[in-house]
Amino acid sequence: MKNNFNHSVTIEYTTSFHDTDAMGVVWHGNYLKLFERAREALFQKYNYGYMDMQKSGYIWPIVDARIKYTNSTFVEQTLLITAQLEEYENRIKINYTIRDSKTGKKTTSGYTIQVAVCMTTKEMSFVTPTIFLEQFGLLK
Amino acid sequence: MKNNFNHSVTIEYTTSFHDTDAMGVVWHGNYLKLFERAREALFQKYNYGYMDMQKSGYIWPIVDARIKYTNSTFVEQTLLITAQLEEYENRIKINYTIRDSKTGKKTTSGYTIQVAVCMTTKEMSFVTPTIFLEQFGLLK
Amino acid sequence: MKNNFNHSVTIEYTTSFHDTDAMGVVWHGNYLKLFERAREALFQKYNYGYMDMQKSGYIWPIVDARIKYTNSTFVEQTLLITAQLEEYENRIKINYTIRDSKTGKKTTSGYTIQVAVCMTTKEMSFVTPTIFLEQFGLLK
Amino acid sequence: MKNNFNHSVTIEYTTSFHDTDAMGVVWHGNYLKLFERAREALFQKYNYGYMDMQKSGYIWPIVDARIKYTNSTFVEQTLLITAQLEEYENRIKINYTIRDSKTGKKTTSGYTIQVAVCMTTKEMSFVTPTIFLEQFGLLK
């Protein structure tokens, strides 16, 4: 088993006309916005949202992202976006799955990897800062 | 005559697939990005770009914007976007006109209004700061 | 009294990190996305959403838009966006007001104007098509 | 040697204020727009741009995308974006590298994978259609 922790959240999002492109589907780059909404919900669930990060003295830039497109999505489609913490020791890896809310059919998946950067020193942290572990209940 | 000064710039922009929406045309909200590109070119022409603003101690938020849509624009269309300074004494009003580069036909027009806000006091300036007038050669 | 009808809807929207710009506030052009979300909710309330429009044989391009910025909005801020039908006889004018959900303070307002274009003839309709009036209960 | 063909293009792009986020850097999702601009230039170089695709009877949805972030980019930064064809036999894989135009320092890299879908049958093509090979001079 890869991990013995389970931190995830699922949000609902209904696509808007401005999410689409000339092919009549959600533009492929806009899924990173949907991933971000789910990631924000996950961090907020553990009381480590944007404002909390600022207070904690760390920013969390994304250093790697991947998106796999299984099925197109359309205007006025309601999606369920799940974000799940996959790795946390040295860097934060979050997996995403997007499904149609009615059929449950998977439309999109992917991941993002973030690292902690100290706001004062501008240096990248090679182990995940204690504050993250505390908030997510992962401190051993 | 409305004004006896003439500060303007025209930039070229070729639309990209991600500018479009499901109707196959550039999404109406994206024209504010095109206005911004032309406005940035205008400010840079007078050596008052983003970095210069930061150094000058002022930010210039937009307080009013209008867009009139005359003709749609499409993927792979090259546009000429003109930004022209219209007012400057108390607030900066810039007019925009977008034309097709081949036919010269007008597609879009509009304006933005900006005010100066002091970065230190966070207060809005009711007259345009001297630094702007100097850079634009409008100091009497 | 300007009109004796009252068609409006208010939606909730929580800002996301990708809505912001380098000044730390929601980028001024992104409010047209928020207006669009509220407009979509208004049209759907009267069973005339995107799919219904397609079936009705009309598209409804925006020909004019205005945005007035009263107060900035920030990451993780929950907003209430109201869209209200203001004119409908020859063109559809919708007014928008955005308020902070906690304080009720107005942050942004504006309008959009749309006209009906027949999908078959590509011609603009100078009176609002019957289908719109029917759906919105405005047929006399 | 991985491939004995060499199809690439490098475009210049200067970042705009609306590309940035509240951290003062280009928002991570916007690099897919930069990849797209370079990909469009690559396809146009071989006379297979958006309009040509439409005429050829195929659309080319993206089925996989990856972005690796090496260095942040900022407002008013001029970037060189290279798109290079990496695979073409069954699917189109394009690699991207973004560098600062002054220093040559790499900021971002990644890839996209596209497949051909027949506009008539809506079916995915498991070998790259002849029209693509012809346009890119890859027909054996």
pLDDT of residue C5: 86
D20 contacts on C by Cβ (under 8 Å): 21-22
Which of B54, B116, B67, B66 lies closest to B91, judged by CA? B116
What type of residue sits at position D2?
K
Kindly state the DSSP code that residue A124 receives in the 8-state scheme: B
C-alpha dist (Å) from residue B74 to A21, A22, B84: 11, 9, 24
Which residue among C22, C29, C75 sits closest to D20, beta carbon to beta carbon?
C22
Structure tokens at C78: 């929950």
CA A5 to chain centre: 17
Q: B7-52: per-residue pLDDT in tens?
A: 999 999 999 999 999 999 999 999 999 999 999 999 999 999 999 9
Q: Identify the burial level of A4 via C-beta atoms within 10 angstroms of its C-beta, where 0-12 means exposed, 13-18 middle and 19 or more buried.
A: exposed
A31 → chain D, closest CA residue: D29
Do residues B64 and B99 make contact, with C-beta atoms less than 8 angstroms apart?
no
What HEC string does chain B produce? CCCCCCCEEEEEEECCHHHECCCCCECHHHHHHHHHHHHHHHHHHCCCCHHHHHHHCEECCEEEEEEEECCCCCCCCEEEEEEEEEECCCCEEEEEEEEECCCCCEEEEEEEEECCEECCCCCECCCCCHHHHHHCCCCC
3-state SS, residue C121: coil
B74 → chain A, closest CA residue: A22
Q: Tell me the nearest-neighbour CA distance from D29 into chain A, angstroms.
A: 6
Using 50 as the pLDDT threshold, list the residues of chain C that sit under it.
1
Q: Which residues of A lie inside 8 Å of D (Cβ-Cβ)?
A: 22-23, 25, 28-30, 32-33, 36, 59, 61-69, 72
Structure tokens at A50: 């944007």
**Percentage of chain A surpassing pLDDT 70?**
98
**d(C-alpha C11, C-alpha A139), whole Å:** 39
Beta pairing partners, B94:
B85, B112
Contact A18 B29 (CB under 8 A): yes
Q: Which of D28, D63, D96 to mutate to test the interface with A (most CBs of A within 10 A)?
A: D28
pLDDT of residue D3: 64
Contact D22 C27 (CB under 8 A): no
Q: Give the predicted TM-score (pTM) of the model.
A: 0.97
**d(C-alpha A96, C-alpha A84), whole Å:** 6
Q: D58-93: per-residue pLDDT in tens?
A: 999 999 999 999 999 999 999 999 999 999 999 999
Which residue among D30, D32, D72 sits closest to A28, beta carbon to beta carbon?
D32
Which residue among A29, A63, A72 sits closest to D29, beta carbon to beta carbon?
A29
C-alpha dist (Å) from residue B25 to B15, B22, B29, B73: 10, 7, 11, 6
Length of chain D as a residue count: 140
Length of chain C as a residue count: 140
End-to-end CA distance of chain C: 19
C81 contacts on A by Cβ (under 8 Å): none
**For chain D, counts of helices (H) and of strands (E):** 3, 7
Q: A27-63: per-residue pLDDT in tens?
A: 999 999 999 999 999 999 999 999 999 999 999 999 9
Q: D3-43: per-residue pLDDT in tens?
A: 678 999 999 999 999 999 999 999 999 999 999 999 999 99
Kindly give the residue spans of alpha helices, DSSP state H, lying in chain C.
31-45, 50-56, 130-135
- Spans of all domains in chain C: 8-135
pLDDT of residue C37: 98
Q: B49-84: per-residue pLDDT in tens?
A: 999 999 999 999 999 999 999 999 999 999 999 999
Do residues C135 and C42 make contact, with C-beta atoms less than 8 angstroms apart?
no
pLDDT of residue D1: 41
**d(C-alpha C117, C-alpha C61), whole Å:** 8
Length of chain B as a residue count: 140
Do residues B34 and B83 make contact, with C-beta atoms less than 8 angstroms apart?
no
**d(C-alpha C135, C-alpha C116), whole Å:** 14
Q: Which chains touch C (3 or more CB pairs under 8 A)?
A: A, B, D
Does the structure show a pLDDT above 80 at B112? Answer: yes
Structure tokens at D10: 């490098």
Detail the DSSP E strand segments found in chain D: 8-14, 58-59, 62-69, 78-87, 92-100, 106-114, 117-118
**d(C-alpha D127, C-alpha D124), whole Å:** 9
Structure tokens at C123: 């011609």
Q: B130-140: per-residue pLDDT in tens?
A: 999 999 999 98
pLDDT of residue B1: 41
Q: D112-132: per-residue pLDDT in tens?
A: 999 999 999 999 999 999 999
A8-135 CATH, one of 3.40.630.30, 2.120.10.80, 3.60.20.10, 3.10.129.10: 3.10.129.10
ipTM (interface predicted TM) = 0.95
Q: Which residues of C lie inside 8 Å of A (Cβ-Cβ)?
A: 16-18, 32-33, 36-37, 40, 44, 49-51, 75-76
Do residues B58 and B129 make contact, with C-beta atoms less than 8 angstroms apart?
yes
pLDDT of residue C1: 41
C68 contacts on B by Cβ (under 8 Å): 63-64
The angle at the Cα of C51, spanning C50 to C56, to the nearest 5 degrees, equals 95
Contact C50 A18 (CB under 8 A): no
B51 → chain C, closest CA residue: C22
